[in-house]
Amino acid sequence: MTHTTPGERALASLTGLALGDALGMPTQSMSRAQIRADYGTITGMIDAGPHQEIAHGMPAGSITDDTEQALLLAEHLIAGNGEVNVTEFAHALLAWEADMAARGSLDLLGPSTKAALERLTAGVPASESGKFGTTNGAAMRVAPIGIAHPVDNIADFVDAVAHTAEVTHNTTLGIASASAVGAMVSAGVAGASLTEALDIAVAAAAEGEKRGNWIAGGSISHRLRWALNWLPTVPVSEREDALYHVIGTSVASQESVVAAIALASLSEDPWDTLCLAAGLGGDTDTVAAIHGAVLGAVHGPDAWPSDAVELVTRVNTLNLPHTSEALLALRSR
């Protein structure tokens, strides 16, 4: 058990999400080779470089869609006193993308979310719009659910996750991956150790696989169990290769979400592994954002350097203490 308070761990989770997102902003969707050529080893937040197409020109510390969608979900949770009107949330996501596009940003909705919302706009009901969503969009934004809902009853917790995932990621893969991340955050906020939180994440993924539309793909819970057992057997010098080449870091839930949690299981210094996640290649902003959210919940505020927290807060005008306090108040209803 940790000696920090639930409030501190809730704030550290949202902070870790934003920090990981900002660290991965300049490297997102790039190969490991290109990241190394442009930036070398990632040791802190940096400006987007010349080969960064999605976030071109963005300054060091800038967050992306991962944090922005998580905070949008938090707003709807708070406004709904713990409940989310998924249709209203879907339209809020559409409005968010329209605003981003108007500002000339290429950091828009992910493939599953985009396709689901197009179906919703075309008249498909919310219960059906997300029936093909398998990527990591629901997992990247789920941390507020983990703060607002206890995971004492895993089935009830997964029901809450599945409800918010329904409109965009109503599949076994989408719900299971979001359930794993959300449950790990919730367990951490409650004071669970890293080992305890990992066990709860796997159990929640298994429960999540009972929900949603079945889609062919590697089981999230089985891949988590395998990765958590296998990665420690890999020599430290080869683990980045193992994460990148074997587990994978693409937008697929069974790659990026598993990679983020598996890396968290071996973290001795949260900031160091957060920087490592940002340099892996692939969907780095999401891998690092998930990694930061779960480690922040488990370790609390001491996980994150104060100068990095100040930078990401200032650059993005964030008020994470207000959001985390409001979410935590829902948990004690």
Categorize the per-residue pLDDT at 226 as very low, low, confident or very high, splitting at 50, 70 and 90: very high
Tokens encoding 309: 């927290």
DSSP 191: T
Per-residue pLDDT at 126? 78
Per-residue pLDDT at 114? 81
Tokens encoding 201: 């994440």
Per-residue pLDDT at 115? 86
Domains with residue ranges and CATH for the chain: 6-331 (1.10.4080.10)
Per-residue pLDDT at 105? 67
Categorize the per-residue pLDDT at 215 as very low, low, confident or very high, splitting at 50, 70 and 90: very high
Which region holds residue 46: left if phi is over 0, alpha if psi is between -120 and 50, else beta?
beta
What number is the average pLDDT over the span 51-62? Answer: 91
Annotated binding residue 286 = yes
Annotated binding residue 159 = no
d(CA 303, CA 308): 11
pLDDT higher than 90, residue 24 = yes
Per-residue pLDDT at 128? 83
Q: Nearest Cα to 84, choosing from 186, 146, 161, 182?
A: 161
What number is the average pLDDT over the span 277-283? Answer: 97
DSSP 3: S
Per-residue pLDDT at 159? 96
Categorize the per-residue pLDDT at 91 as very low, low, confident or very high, splitting at 50, 70 and 90: confident
d(CA 250, CA 255): 6
pLDDT higher than 80, residue 63 = yes
Helices (H), the chain: 6-24, 32-39, 65-79, 86-102, 111-121, 126-129, 137-140, 143-148, 154-169, 172-189, 194-208, 220-230, 239-241, 253-265, 270-278, 284-299, 306-316, 320-331
Per-residue pLDDT at 104? 65
Q: Which residue's entry shows tokens 């697929």?
A: 252
d(CA 197, CA 291): 13
Annotated binding residue 313 = no
Annotated binding residue 272 = no
Q: What is the DSSP string of 155-169?
A: HHHHHHHHHHHHHHH
Return all residues near 101 (Cβ < 8 A) that are at least 6 apart.
Answer: 108
Q: Residues 80, 89: contact at Cβ < 8 Å? A: no
Per-residue pLDDT at 177? 98
d(CA 153, CA 161): 13
What number is the average pLDDT over the span 306-322? Answer: 97
> For the segment 113-164, what is each residue's pLDDT rounded down to a tens digit?
888 878 888 888 877 888 888 999 999 999 999 999 999 999 999 999 999 9
Helices (H), 103-171: 111-121, 126-129, 137-140, 143-148, 154-169
Annotated binding residue 241 = no
Q: Residues 60, 85: contact at Cβ < 8 Å? A: no
d(CA 220, CA 177): 6
Annotated binding residue 66 = yes
